[in-house]
């Protein structure tokens, strides 16, 4: 049975298990910011719009340099987490707006940089046009380039006979930019994210991943399969292999 949960409720639910901001310089987000600096993209003193900001993993890091940051997201729970962490970090130059990007109204506000990272908020040609128009200087877009493979989830998919979704939105953006004769820079990103979960969180992530396609028989296989993955402490380590591209124009 297909899941009929509306997008807002879906992302509110994802917020319960979603990674959140950390100040460590060893994170993927920190690496991306350093890579952008090497590509002559600086957030220092800039007015930034972060579209589909989620829990604020990038938003708070950008806010450390920017003059101001406005984050938009459809999920009130994601924005709640963002503001909890912003308060801890003393990020008083950060605001948020709960809305879809289709409904976003800047009310005349100007932005130097528009940032969008692996978000379904920016997927169509109209969205590409809007971020381009909203950015006074640069658009930074991070999209999937064909690979998002969790070893834990792929084991569940194989057991349940589920065909994993292929994440590959970057070619659509490149085609649009070419049609508009807009020059752009592309930077490939390949990572393996290693994350360790307690048993409850691992099971919640698995159930969330298969909820659109899971049969009763499939659901019953999740717990026993996770048992085989658990370490002596009961925790489960997952490796997520990803391939993305940063597109800057």
pLDDT 10s digits, 161-177: 999 999 999 999 999 99
pLDDT 10s digits, 87-135: 999 999 999 999 999 999 999 999 999 999 999 999 999 999 999 999 9
Residue 211 CA to residue 185 CA, distance in Å, equals: 37
Average pLDDT of the segment spanning 186-203: 95
Average pLDDT of the segment spanning 193-215: 89
The confidence score (pLDDT) of residue 212 equals 75
Residue 175 CA to residue 173 CA, distance in Å, equals: 5
Question: Any bridge partners for residue 242, and if so which?
Answer: 148, 191
* Residue length of the chain: 249
pLDDT 10s digits, 29-57: 999 999 999 999 999 999 999 999 999 99
Angle (CA) 121-155-193 rounded to 5° is 55
Q: pTM for the whole thing?
A: 0.93
Which domains does the chain show, CATH number per domain?
7-148+165-193+241-248 (3.40.50.150)
CB distance 118 to 57 below 8 Å: no
The confidence score (pLDDT) of residue 99 equals 97
Calculate the average pLDDT of the chain: 95
- Percentage of the chain exceeding pLDDT 70: 98
Give the other-Cβ count within 10 Å of 143's Cβ.
23
């Amino acid at each position: 049975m297909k899941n009929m949960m509306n997008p807002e409720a879906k992302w509110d639910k994802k917020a319960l298990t979603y990674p959140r901001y950390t100040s460590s310089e060893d994170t993927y987000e920190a690496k991306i910011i350093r890579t952008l600096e090497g590509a002559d993209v600086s957030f220092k003193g800039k007015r930034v719009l972060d579209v589909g900001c989620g829990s604020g993993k990038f938003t708070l890091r950008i806010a450390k340099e920017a003059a101001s940051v406005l984050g938009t997201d459809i999920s009130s729970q994601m924005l709640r987490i963002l503001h909890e962490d912003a308060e801890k970090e003393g990020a008083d130059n950060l605001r948020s707006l709960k809305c879809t990007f289709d409904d976003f109204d800047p009310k005349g506000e100007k932005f130097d940089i528009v940032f969008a990272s692996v978000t379904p908020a920016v997927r169509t040609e109209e969205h590409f046009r809007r971020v381009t128009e909203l950015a006074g200087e640069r658009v930074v877009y991070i999209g999937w380039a064909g690979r998002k493979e969790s070893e834990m989830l792929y084991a569940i998919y194989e057991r349940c006979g589920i065909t994993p979704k292929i994440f590959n939105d970057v070619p659509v953006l490149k085609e649009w930019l070419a049609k508009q004769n807009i020059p752009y820079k592309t930077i490939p990103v390949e990572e393996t994210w290693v994350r360790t979960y307690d048993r409850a969180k691992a099971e919640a992530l698995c159930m969330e991943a298969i909820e659109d396609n899971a049969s009763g028989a499939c659901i019953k296989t999740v717990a026993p399969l996770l048992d085989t993955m658990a370490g002596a402490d009961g925790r489960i380590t997952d490796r997520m292999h990803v391939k993305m591209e940063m597109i800057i124009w």
